[in-house]
Structure 1
């Protein structure tokens, strides 16, 4: 890709000049490359709000089905995939990320159906949010190699406003997490979470409700 070639050129020029102004050039290099990269990729999305940033490196598939609000940050090594076809099936995926959302490093968001993340939501690292799986758990399906199984969705994922999602949380298909909920680290969310509640564990348990 052209932007990868330009990134390499900028990186090597910065390394050569590093001996003159090491710290300043490192800062300038990062800012220039980040601005160039985001300006380049922003045109591929349904919407890419002002002051939003996707940090390199990251993996993006199906940007034309992804909408990103204003002042969003998606940190390094994250994966956003919206699949419109797989194993001969076609889908109409949709990923919507609201304003002021902060996505941690190594987060994986993948859709064949719909994933909506409300404004002000914060995630830790290594979070997985998925509306699909490789097949179901029927006996017939389990005889098929996982990569060859048809993608299957139990339903959309909806995450409300101002939700806080801890490190290594997994949010499964067909789940709604309501406004203001807090999801503890390492939790597996396999049922809906009420508003302004604290939920932890695998499987998830509601341990506290605010009044």
Structure 2
């Protein structure tokens, strides 16, 4: 309540016009929503921006200080057709998710603390269909009816993922890695590496002796 009172006093001290009142109401609603969501998810300082959609909330956990700009689509899929899953999504402390991030999980997706996810990023631990090995999907089978197959996605601490990146498991992205914008990642990324491209390939690696990112 002290925070809300502070917002009221600040708004009316600077401007008594209608726009200030609208701003005030919007800030109060946002604070109240954040407070309720923090209680529901047991996640202090959680902020979910407007337009966010969460499905399978019982299978999703947020750390402290997670910040979502807007339009997050977060889905833990427990059933798809006749398939049944036990999904688990874990988003660590102080992770920032920019506008329009989509995370879909049937098994396990982890984003560890202090990572930054750019706008329009898609992260999934599965595909619609099987395209290697035995019992591969038929081209004549509608994609929406193909079995979901894949493996877990683990994203380490302090990872920076640029805008419009696609990440499909199974894979691990090591601590401190950087993924260039518009890349497609389908294989493991070493810690403290910069990768980019379709498919993403290593470009640089951090050298602790020279304290520089060096070309590979």
Distance 2:197 2:38 in 1: 37
**Contact 2:46/2:66, CA 8 A, preserved across alignment:** yes
Distance 2:194 2:25 in 1: 41
Name the CA shift for 1:160/1:122 in 2 (closer, same or farther; >3 Å).
same
Counterpart for residue 146 of structure 1: 143
Match of 2:93 among 95, 99, 123: 99
Deviations 1:123-151 (A, max 9, x none): 11000010012112265433221122222
CA RMSD of aligned residues (A): 1.6
* Partner SS for 1:142: coil
Q: Which has the larger radius of gyration?
A: 2
**Contact 1:44/1:64, CA 8 A, preserved across alignment:** no
Distance 1:163 1:30 in 2: 32
Counterpart for residue 88 of structure 1: 82
TM-score (norm 2): 0.82
Distance 1:49 1:31 in 2: 20
**Is 2:192 aligned against 1:192?**
no
Distance 1:51 1:117 in 2: 17
Match of 2:19 among 19, 23, 28: 23
The alignment covers a number of residue pairs equal to 189
TM-score (norm 1): 0.84
**Is 2:17 aligned against 1:54?**
no
Match of 1:168 among 157, 164, 181: 164
* Partner SS for 2:182: coil
* Pairwise CA distance, 1:88: 1.4
Name the CA shift for 1:62/1:43 in 2 (closer, same or farther; >3 Å).
farther
**Contact 1:158/1:175, CA 8 A, preserved across alignment:** yes
Distance 1:139 1:65 in 2: 29
**Contact 1:44/1:63, CA 8 A, preserved across alignment:** no
For structure 2, the residue ranges without an aligned partner over 5 or more in a row are 1-15, 208-216
Distance 1:141 1:39 in 2: 48
